[in-house]
Amino acid sequence: MDITEVRVFPVASEERLKAYATITIDNVFLIRDLRIINGNAGLFVAMPSRKMKDGTFKDIAHPLNSEARQMIESKVLAEYERELANPAKREPTSKESDAA
């Protein structure tokens, strides 16, 4: 498995949520709505999830082992750092517009 593209969309108006991310795996599979969160121990990547009827959240997609999780997290956070260092001019996403 190879992560062939990472796109990061910073969110300025949230305290803990720092950005949304989209990853492409092997140029054939896209996962949207990963979240970069500023947690108690630093930044981490949360997988896309859905709120259930009982109020809990269930991941929609997630890695099955720690090696895959680490690979995803390292690539997403590296791209997040690059985006902060050199933000590209782009249109705000609907998630960014909703957060404002």
- pTM for the complete prediction? 0.80
Three-state SS at 6: strand
Residue 64 half-sphere exposure, CB side, CA atoms within 13 Å?
Answer: 1
Structure tokens at 68: 């895959």
Q: Residue 10 in contact with residue 18, Cβ under 8 Å? A: yes
Q: Which of 95, 90, 93 is nearest to 14 (CA)?
A: 95
The highest-level CATH class for domain 3-87 is: alpha beta
Q: What's the pLDDT tens digit per position in 27-85? A: 999 999 999 999 999 999 999 999 999 999 999 999 999 999 999 999 999 999 999 88
